Amino acid sequence: MEVLNHLVCWLDAQGFLSPLGVAALPFRVSLYADDVVMVVTPRLDDLLVLKGAVELFGLASGLFSNLDKSVATPISCFEQELELVCDTLSCKVKTFPCRYLGIPLSIFKLRKGDEQRSVDSVASRIPQWKGRLLNMAGRTALVRATLSAIPIHMSIALCLSQWAIEQIDKRRRAFIWCGEQTVTAGKCKVAWKTT
């Protein structure tokens, strides 16, 4: 996959790809395992160069791209440009904002509904564990290893709101104290000072 990244960077440096017009975007390719995101201007020359680069990479490595599984996500494109992308790449088109590796990608601030998926992902793990059968050290280890990793994955790409962080922390604290999703008064083992 690094070879594909270097190939696209070389094509960009040699001027085979049109400038993106976005100074804040220093790269055209984002790689994660076998998932690739490529940012390209919707012009026929650029699309053909990119399609040729992917085919060349497939011939050299044996890792061919399945364009039936690939998705084009237009950002501020006209209808004619969208048709050009569909005709040239023969792939599906999905609207923006979209999800990539489970993370919602958007140019706007996330809504609560987008962040609710992360909160639900944390909450859905808790009933599967027998929290009441674990001691506090075991519950703490589970929280650190799993429940804390879920929001970190999302926070790598974007900032979670204070609301989402509080909702996730509420569930993590409840699991540590009593082994469930929610905790009521009397189950905490520390007398916290209230102001």
Looking at the predicted structure, is the pLDDT value of residue 36 above 70? yes
Q: Is residue 187 part of a domain?
A: no
Yes or no: say if 128 and 134 are a contact pair by the CB < 8 Å rule: no
Average pLDDT, the chain: 80
Q: Is the sign of the CA dihedral 65, 74, 83, 29 positive or negative?
A: negative
Query: Are 11 and 91 in the same domain?
Result: yes
Query: Are 84 and 121 in the same domain?
Result: no
0.85 surpassed by pTM: no
Task: Pinpoint the alpha helices (H) of the chain.
Answer: 2-13, 44-61, 79-89, 112-125, 136-142, 149-155, 162-178
Query: Are 85 and 14 in the same domain?
Result: yes
Q: Which of 68, 96, 124 is the last residue of a domain?
A: 96
What confidence tier does 35 reach under pLDDT thresholds 50, 70, 90? confident
Yes or no: say if 131 and 179 are a contact pair by the CB < 8 Å rule: yes
Query: Are 47 and 127 in the same domain?
Result: no
Give per-residue pLDDT as tens, 156-189: 777 788 898 898 888 888 888 877 777 766 666 6
Give per-residue pLDDT as tens, 84-140: 888 888 888 887 777 777 777 777 777 888 788 888 888 888 887 877 788 888 888
Give the pLDDT of residue 22.
64
Yes or no: say if 22 and 55 are a contact pair by the CB < 8 Å rule: no
Q: Is residue 193 part of a domain?
A: no
Q: Which of 96, 121, 147 is the last residue of a domain?
A: 96
Residues contacting 108, CB < 8 A, separation 6+: 97
